[in-house]
């Protein structure tokens, strides 16, 4: 999950795209990039780091033009430490194309061979997004008849792209001198929405908060399989470009990835988290009687709405027991387990008085590798808590994610091949309560009955694209490098006796 944005305006867009990327920063903290277009020329700046560090005044001045796009990257393919793989990506033919991508292709390795052998195209990085751009470029070359490019040619190219690529993709591209193209995979796994502001400018972005925060009104979500082409005057054409579509957004967006003030595919992320808190409360009472809990404490940030609702339903006090250092980024999306572990302690500190002599229920949105839970349970005990119960608003994360969340292997997931009791022992809490998979799906689906379902593969092992095998997962992980040179990356928490279910 990266954050992507594109704008077509009649005024300079560099600052607007910068501001939009700041509103998407929670989706990717490893690299950032912006491209603008003036006349037929692209201007690009991209580098590793957070938005505020990547763009200095001189870089901003060198991004002229009324059309542009940007990305914040959270690597899920290739090398997390490579500056080369920062987005946007550029190819010079046909017309000149730049592109940003949120998602993950599941057939990138095969396509790379095909692009080389059949299309005679060279891919210079391990990024699946560079593969995607070259497929788009090839299809656009094929579909363009005559010198000028029409929306119908662009849509024909997207049809060709849908036929060739597999996996998840929300894409925004600029075609030099022509306009902005955006499209979404036929399952609508990764989010993408479109809006307009008072002067007629259009913005396409991963999350509605990006539009709202910049004075744009959300028009609607881009539909699964649909493409939008916006010409340089701001006129938009829409076309369904996939033969078969089924709307199954990634449920982890609602659990953790997206901002609570966003509405994705008609569902308020905040309301989804409240609903999950409600169902978690129901489940909790069968394990720990509320009378044994003195206080409910959220693990900042993402768990707050669920924890608050759970406390309300159970009639328990809701208190802040951990203070988050706002200058440390989100730990789950950091590359490498070493840095993630160190960051939890740097990021969260206890307010000891909330723990001393109390039975506390800690609530997190999800437990993935267990890095956060293990640390904070210990911190709660060190602060004098009598009993430490732990609840997760999401079910156990047991299966790898192949659609753009960085959980590439089952082995690194604390709940993979382990019973809840074994995870409890590992994390070190007195009781561990997880959400139920169906209850979570129902709690969120109730907010938009039109959806076909969700991709909840990391919880239930069912991959919505229907074509994922262990061999494909292994293949996707070839060429992935999440460690800096020579650094060990032992992601999995281990029980002292290395016991598994």
Ligand X SMILES: O=P(O)(O)OC[C@H]1O[C@H](OP(=O)(O)OP(=O)(O)O)[C@H](O)[C@@H]1O
Nearer to ligand GLN, 89 or 434 (CB): 89
Q: CA 61, 63, 65, 68 torsion: positive or negative?
A: negative
Question: 154 phi and psi, to 5 degrees?
Answer: -65, -45
Which of 306, 189, 330, 302 lies closest to 251, judged by CA?
A: 189
With CB under 5 A as the rule, give the number of residues binding Mg ion.
Answer: 1
Q: How far is the CB of 53 from ligand X (least distance, A)?
A: 19
Peptide bond into 88 cis (omega under 30): yes
Is 368 one of the binding residues for ligand X (CB under 6 A)? yes
Q: Are 380 and 307 in contact (CB under 8 A)?
A: no
Alpha helices in 409-480 (DSSP H): 420-427, 437-445, 457-460, 470-477
Is 76 one of the binding residues for ligand GLN (CB under 6 A)? yes
Q: Which of the choices ligand X, Mg ion, ligand GLN, none does residue 191 contact, using the CB cut-off of 5 to 8 A by kind?
A: none
Nearer to ligand X, 248 or 343 (CB): 343
Nearer to ligand GLN, 99 or 218 (CB): 99
- Strand segments (E) across 365-430: 387-392
The binder of ligand GLN chosen from 2, 368, 440, 472 (CB under 6 A): 2
Q: Please indicate whether residue 2 is annotated as part of the active site.
A: yes
For the record, the structure tokens of 153 come out as 């040619």
* Cα–Cα distance measured from residue 402 to residue 245, given in angstroms and rounded to the nearest whole number: 19
Is 366 one of the binding residues for ligand X (CB under 6 A)? yes
- Strand segments (E) across 50-184: 67-73, 89-91, 97-105, 167-175, 179-184
Is 256 one of the binding residues for ligand X (CB under 6 A)? yes
| Cβ count near 430 (within 10 Å) | 17
Write each residue from 309 to 338 as x if it is in contact with ligand X (CB under 6 A), else as -, in one continuous string: ---------------------xxxx-----
- State which of positions 290-309 bind Mg ion (CB under 5 A): 302
Nearer to Mg ion, 26 or 184 (CB): 26
Nearer to ligand X, 208 or 491 (CB): 491
Give the helix/strand (H/E) hosting 487: none
Q: Per the annotation, does 286 bind a ligand?
A: no
Binding range to ligand GLN, per CB under 6 A, among 95-103, 171-179, 229-237, 359-367: 95-103
Residue with tokens 């997880």: 434
Relative orientation angle of helices 470-477 and 108-117, to the nearest 10 degrees: 70
Q: Per the annotation, does 9 bind a ligand?
A: no
Is 364 one of the binding residues for ligand X (CB under 6 A)? yes
Q: Which of the choices Mg ion, ligand GLN, ligand X, none does residue 370 contact, using the CB cut-off of 5 to 8 A by kind?
A: ligand X
Q: How far is the CB of 331 from ligand X (least distance, A)?
A: 4
Is 107 one of the binding residues for ligand X (CB under 6 A)? no
Q: Per the annotation, does 365 bind a ligand?
A: yes
* Cα–Cα distance measured from residue 396 to residue 376, given in angstroms and rounded to the nearest whole number: 18
CA dist list (Å): 404 to 103, 318, 396: 4, 34, 18
| Cβ count near 52 (within 10 Å) | 12
Binding range to ligand X, per CB under 6 A, among 152-160, 177-185, 270-278, 358-366: 358-366
Question: 220 phi and psi, to 5 degrees?
Answer: -175, 175
The binder of ligand GLN chosen from 129, 214, 392, 491 (CB under 6 A): 129
Is 332 one of the binding residues for ligand GLN (CB under 6 A)? no
CA dist list (Å): 268 to 74, 273, 414, 443, 467: 23, 9, 29, 12, 30
For the record, the structure tokens of 39 come out as 């006349």
Residues in a beta bridge with 83: none
Q: How far is the CB of 302 from ligand X (least distance, A)?
A: 4
The binder of ligand X chosen from 19, 219, 239, 301 (CB under 6 A): 301
Is 1 one of the binding residues for ligand GLN (CB under 6 A)? yes
Peptide bond into 473 cis (omega under 30): no
Q: How far is the CB of 29 from ligand X (least distance, A)?
A: 10
Q: How far is the CB of 82 from ligand X (least distance, A)?
A: 22
* Cα–Cα distance measured from residue 483 to residue 491, given in angstroms and rounded to the nearest whole number: 11
- State which of positions 100-119 bind ligand GLN (CB under 6 A): 101-104
For the record, the structure tokens of 82 come out as 């490579």
Q: How far is the CB of 133 from ligand GLN (least distance, A)?
A: 11
Q: How far is the CB of 299 from Mg ion (least distance, A)?
A: 5
Known binding-site positions for Mg(2+) = 302, 364-365
Query: Which residues of this protein are in contact with Mg ion, per CB under 5 A?
Result: 302
Query: Which residues of this protein are in contact with ligand GLN, per CB under 6 A?
Result: 1-2, 73-78, 85, 101-104, 127-129, 404
Known binding-site positions = 302, 364-365
Query: Which residues of this protein are in contact with ligand X, per CB under 6 A?
Result: 256, 299-302, 330-333, 364-373
Residues annotated as part of the active site: 2
């Amino acid at each position: 999950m990266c954050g992507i944005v594109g704008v077509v305006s009649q005024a300079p867009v560099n600052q607007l795209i910068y501001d939009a990327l700041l509103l998407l920063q929670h989706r990717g903290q490893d690299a950032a990039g912006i491209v603008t277009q003036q006349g037929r020329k692209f201007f690009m700046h991209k580098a590793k780091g957070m938005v505020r560090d990547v763009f200095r005044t001189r870089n901003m001045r060198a991004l002229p033009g009324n059309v542009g796009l940007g990305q914040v990257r959270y690597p899920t393919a290739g090398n997390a430490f490579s500056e080369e793989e920062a987005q946007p990506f550029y190819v010079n033919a046909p017309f000149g194309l730049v592109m940003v991508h949120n998602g993950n292709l599941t057939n990138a390795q095969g396509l790379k061979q095909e692009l080389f052998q059949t299309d005679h195209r060279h891919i210079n990085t391990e990024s699946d997004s560079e593969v995607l751009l070259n497929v788009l470029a090839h299809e656009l070359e094929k579909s363009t008849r005559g010198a000028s490019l029409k929306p119908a040619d662009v849509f024909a190219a997207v049809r060709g792209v849908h036929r060739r690529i597999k996996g998840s993709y929300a894409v925004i591209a600029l075609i030099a001198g022509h306009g902005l193209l955006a499209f979404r995979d036929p399952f609508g796994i990764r989010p993408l929405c479109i809006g307009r502001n008072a002067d007629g400018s259009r913005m396409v972005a991963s999350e509605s908060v990006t539009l709202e925060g910049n004075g744009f009104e959300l028009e609607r979500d881009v539909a699964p399989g649909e493409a939008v082409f916006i010409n340089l005057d701001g006129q938009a054409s829409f076309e369904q470009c996939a033969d078969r579509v089924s709307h199954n957004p990634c449920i982890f967006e609602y659990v953790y990835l997206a901002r609570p003030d966003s509405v994705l595919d008609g569902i308020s992320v905040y309301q989804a988290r409240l609903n999950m808190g409600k169902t978690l409360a129901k489940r909790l009472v069968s394990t720990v009687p509320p009378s044994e809990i003195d206080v409910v404490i959220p693990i900042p940030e993402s768990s707050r709405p669920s924890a608050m609702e759970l406390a309300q339903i159970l009639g328990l006090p809701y208190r802040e027991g951990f203070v988050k250092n706002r200058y440390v980024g989100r730990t789950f999306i950091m590359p490498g387990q070493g840095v993630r572990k160190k960051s939890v302690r740097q990021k969260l500190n206890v307010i000891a008085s909330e723990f001393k002599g109390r039975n506390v229920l800690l609530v997190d949105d999800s437990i993935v590798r267990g890095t956060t839970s293990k640390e904070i349970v210990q911190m709660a005990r060190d602060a004098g808590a009598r009993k430490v119960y732990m609840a997760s608003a999401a079910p156990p994360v047991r299966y790898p994610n192949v659609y753009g969340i960085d959980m590439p292997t089952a082995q690194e997931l604390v709940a993979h091949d382990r019973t809840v009791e074994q995870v409890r022992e590992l994390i070190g809490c007195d009781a561990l309560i997880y959400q139920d998979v169906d209850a979570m799906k129902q709690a969120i689906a109730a907010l938009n009955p039109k959806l076909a379902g969700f991709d909840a593969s990391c919880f239930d092992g069912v991959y919505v694209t229907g074509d994922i095998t262990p061999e494909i997962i292994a293949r996707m992980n070839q060429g992935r490098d999440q460690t800096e040179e020579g650094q060990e990356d032992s992601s999995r928490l281990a029980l002292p006796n290395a016991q598994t279910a």
